[in-house]
Structure 1
């Protein structure tokens, strides 16, 4: 017997039915000039070789290269049968595309030919985050998993050089990884990790050793200030950590399930410099010279004035959770990806933002006007309406 997969055929609460109806009504909008794909998009990274392209991770188990300008999405790296969570481009000359997967493995392909390469096996749960690094001319892959482990791999041989876990065994699933550009050197890197607990951790890694930075009495960063065992500025899971290329101070930017994105000051021992109250789970944060962009579960892209910390504009168009942001075209645009299966692009130049702001205000005015002019629904039944009409007629007689 066939079974329906339509959610409308199953019991749903009023809230879930309302959400489904709202998303269905919103799904046809063309805001952000959407590129529509056939599966959920779980992550996105920039193409290091093209300012017009991004790589996306799909729930269908593939990595796809998309040219946002030409809208070409035919370059696909296939093999996994489980969702892809994360990607990196690296190895010798950036010749390899890597993908972390729900199947616990890290897959790889030749970037040009798309031929499948080595699989890196070592995690005992979903691979959640991967990045590439280089120490003493040796190309490395670093992965973090839902098993709370961080593994450092030799890309060429597939060997595991180090496996890291929190010394107190309190670290939960790893959510994101980033290299500290200020404190890393050619022979030693400093890695920053975030996880499903609110703590952000720092790790010092060389080819021969790797350890968590814990000794607050001796560990110092490049500006001579003492570090902390962990960075604790959020209330719950931290989904994203990044250092902005445009930030002269190389401060740390974060996005959290506590509904905020933050700028953590290097000079002030990683304490909060600025808080951006997005209002719901923040899955992604991006930073330019002028703007801070946040996005997440509420489906909105919020653009904040970096100088003042004030909200400047809200882009809307996605109808499911937003999972990634990529700044493109020399900071002129930002691309957003979502579980709704679309890639959308939004202007970041002042003129684009002013125009979009005016258009959104007009749309909102139209909605308010429509609500005001909408005829009131009668509280009477059809029979009561008929009875009232008869009474009115008899009164006139």
Structure 2
């Protein structure tokens, strides 16, 4: 008897079948000029030397360079045999690719030659987040895992410098990192971490030690909190703004919300964007906030008004990450559906998308109107005849 691994061989509900049919029908769309890869795409970062390229973490166990202009996907960094969940670029000269994997290791490769480098081993569960930075002039790698630990590594020697854990509030699986560009200094960086609990944590890390920062608010300076608590559940992404003097912090969460946390207000929420579903990614430009997640849509919000400006649809499964290119002129999305899609962020292009949707909705409405008229409405001549008969009465 032959064994099958396809989901078709197992019991499925009507909802499962409907979802499968919907995705199959949507899969052929060309919105966002899709580049199709052969595995699920779990994360992405900009390529440091190619303005039109990104580095994508694949469930097939590789990191792939994708040129969104030419469609070239042949430059691949191989090593792991199970999913790669996160990717970063750093090290001396910013020439090394780092990727965290389900095998509990962080892998590395030379960016140009693809030659494998050092592996960083120490986590006891999946690696979920990696970021590179300099501390005291030393190139460092920071990794976070499902083992609830954050580890700081000396990139050159491979030695582990620190293990960070919250001693006051139980920390769950680490999801993402961001380095604070405003408060970090040459000898001490400020790391922001997101995790599967709703707490956002800030850490000051030096070569000789670290501390978890306590949070206060301008209105209640006597109240001290150990974390930033603005969401109800998992925080998937933390991103610092590239615009403005304050360099605010942006977050996206499984509670269906993305938020702008104001530095001036002690990282309290200043604006809230109600995307819906699990919001897996948030990206910002000087004009827009862009969100994406489980509902498959890319939503573009006007930062000034915090109102939804345009919805870009094309993906047919969960969107896992967003990368802004060309100084905010376009955004690239990657998804569980295996496609990389590129969307222009010029206001005129977004207006064109909105107009096309309005025209399509109007066309559908006009198609339905004649049928209703034939069944339930009279012609002008019939109305005139009825009016005459009523006058006679």
Cα distance per residue 1:86-143 (max 9 Å; x no partner): 0111000011100000100000001111011100001000000000010121000001
User: Which residue in 2 is equivalent to 1:129?
Assistant: 129
Q: Which residue of 2 aligns with 1:279?
A: 276
1:188 positional shift: 0.4
Aligned length in residues: 370
1:1-397 equivalent positions in 2, closer than 5 A: 1-168=1-168, 170-214=170-214, 228-367=225-364
> Within 1, Cα distance between the matches of 2:121 and 2:174?
17
SS in 1 for 2:133: strand
User: Structure 1: which 5+ runs fail to align?
Assistant: 376-397
In structure 2, what is the Cα distance between the partners aligned to 1:368 and 1:15?
A: 28
5+ residue gaps, structure 2, are 373-393
Match of 1:387 in 2: none
**What's the CA shift string for 1:235-289, capped at 9, x where partnerless?**
0000000102124311100000000000001000111100000011100000000
- Provide the secondary structure at the position in 2 that maps to 1:168: coil
Once the two structures are superposed, residues 130-165 of structure 1 have per-residue CA deviations (whole angstroms, 9 ceiling, x without a partner) of 000101210000011000000000000000000000
TM-score, scaled to structure 1: 0.89
1:367–1:93 Cα change, 3 Å: farther
Note if contact 2:129-2:144 (Cα within 8 Å) is conserved in structure 1: yes
CA change 1:98–1:356 in 2 (3 A) is: same
User: The residue matched to 2:264 in structure 1 has which SS?
Assistant: coil
Determine the C-alpha separation between the residues in 2 that align with 1:43 and 1:196: 17
Return closer, same or farther for 1:349/1:246 CA change in 2, 3 Å cut-off.
same
Question: Structure 1 residues 48 and 39 mapped into 2: Cα distance closer, same or farther (>3 Å)?
Answer: same
What do you get for the CA RMSD once the two structures are aligned? 2.0
Q: Secondary structure at the match of 2:273?
A: strand
Question: Quick one: distance in 2 between partners of 1:242 and 1:374?
Answer: 51
Post-superposition offset of 1:6: 3.8
| SS of equivalent residue, structure 2 residue 20 | helix
String of CA shifts for 1:277-320, please: whole Å, max 9, x gaps: 00111000000000000000000000000111010000000000
TM-score (normalised: structure 2): 0.90
Residues 5 and 370 (structure 1), Cα distance of their counterparts in 2 relative to 1, 3 Å cut: farther
Q: Are the aligned partners of 1:326 and 1:336 in contact in 2 as well (CA < 8 Å)?
A: yes
Q: Is the 8 A contact 1:284 1:296 kept in 2?
A: yes
**CA–CA distance in structure 2, aligned partners of residues 244 and 155 of structure 1:** 27
Residue 42 of structure 1 and its aligned partner are, at CA, apart by 0.4
Tell me how far apart the structure 2 counterparts of residues 126 and 258 of structure 1 sit (CA, whole Å).
Answer: 23
Once the 2 structures are TM-superposed, how far is the Cα of residue 368 of structure 1 from its aligned partner?
5.1
| Change over 3 Å in CA distance of 1:113–1:372 after alignment to 2 | farther
Q: State the Cα distance separating 1:365 from its structure 2 match.
A: 3.7
